[in-house]
């Protein structure tokens, strides 16, 4: 599922024909880079691909003063169908994406407890700072939020709080978990008299 395609089609369906710069401004105004995997710089390339595929179309070219000419795009009927399909897929997808940190933890047995703890504490600090930034953004944005937008902010806040809580549990359990990891290879005294 492409968030970039979903955003472009959604913006054109909601706001009508726009040129690439207006779509980019819309993405920056909505701060899409904060709450999606959309990179604002990739929008122009996506517009050209989507036009070639027939989900958007050029409706006119505009030029104001000495500025370069700008192509104005509109969503097509096929684009409307793709928008519905992408939106439906996104709303129904409940699959959690794998987090590389889980794999990295499994491969960290050569790190000492102090080194691993320092890395996890650093992650915890950064996540806590990110939560504080999001809380400030949420507070500043509150008067301007419409419809379901507040829930988008709240979703991010809940996810950050869950990540922070998981890191706190990991830090608390680290000595026990690392001790348990070493235990299987340690010979027990019970095996010593066997076979005598």
Is residue 59, in this structure, part of any structural domain at all?
Answer: yes
60 and 9 belong to one structural domain: yes
Residues 126 and 171 in one domain: yes
Judged by DSSP in three states, 118 sits in helix
Domain count, the chain: 2
pLDDT at 195 over 70: no
Residue 145 falls in which region: left (phi positive, over 0), alpha (psi -120 to 50) or beta: beta
Say if 188 falls within a structural domain. Answer: no
Tell me the residue range of the domain where 139 lies: 100-183
Locate the DSSP E strands across the chain: 18-19, 56-62, 70-75
Q: Is the pLDDT of residue 188 over 50?
A: no
Q: What value does the mean pLDDT take over residues 22-33? A: 75
- Do 19 and 82 have their domain in common? yes
Domain boundary among 73, 92, 111: 92
Residues 7 and 87 in one domain: yes
Residues 128 and 71 in one domain: no
Q: How many helices (H) and strands (E) does the chain have?
A: 8, 3
120 & 86 share domain:
no
Identify the pLDDT of residue 174.
92
**144 and 85 within one domain:** no
Specify whether 105 is located in the same domain as 88.
Answer: no
Instruction: For residue range 50-96, list pLDDT tens digits in order.
Output: 999 999 999 998 888 887 888 999 999 999 999 999 999 999 999 98
Asked if residue 34 has pLDDT above 50, the reply is yes
- 108-149, pLDDT tens digit by residue? 989 989 999 999 999 999 999 999 998 998 898 888 878 888
Of residues 36 and 60, more confidently modeled: 60
């Amino acid at each position: 599922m492409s968030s970039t395609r979903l955003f472009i089609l959604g913006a054109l369906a909601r706001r009508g024909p726009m040129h690439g710069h207006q779509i980019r401004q819309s993405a920056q105004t909505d701060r899409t880079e904060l709450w999606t995997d959309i990179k604002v710089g990739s929008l122009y390339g996506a517009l050209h691909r989507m036009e070639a595929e027939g989900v958007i179309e050029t409706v006119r070219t505009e030029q104001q003063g000495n500025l370069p000419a700008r192509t104005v795009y509109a969503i097509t009927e096929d684009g409307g169908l793709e928008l519905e399909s992408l939106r439906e897929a996104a709303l129904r997808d409940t699959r959690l994406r794998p987090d590389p940190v889980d794999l990295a933890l499994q491969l960290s047995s050569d790190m000492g407890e102090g080194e691993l703890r320092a890395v996890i504490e650093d992650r915890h600090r950064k996540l806590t700072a990110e939560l504080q930034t999001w809380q400030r953004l949420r507070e500043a944005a509150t008067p301007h939020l419409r419809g379901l937008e507040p829930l988008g902010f709240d979703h991010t806040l809940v996810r950050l709080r869950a990540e922070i809580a998981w890191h706190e549990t990991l830090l608390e359990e680290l000595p026990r978990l690392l001790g348990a990891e070493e235990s299987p290879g340690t010979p027990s005294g019970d095996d010593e008299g066997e076979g005598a």
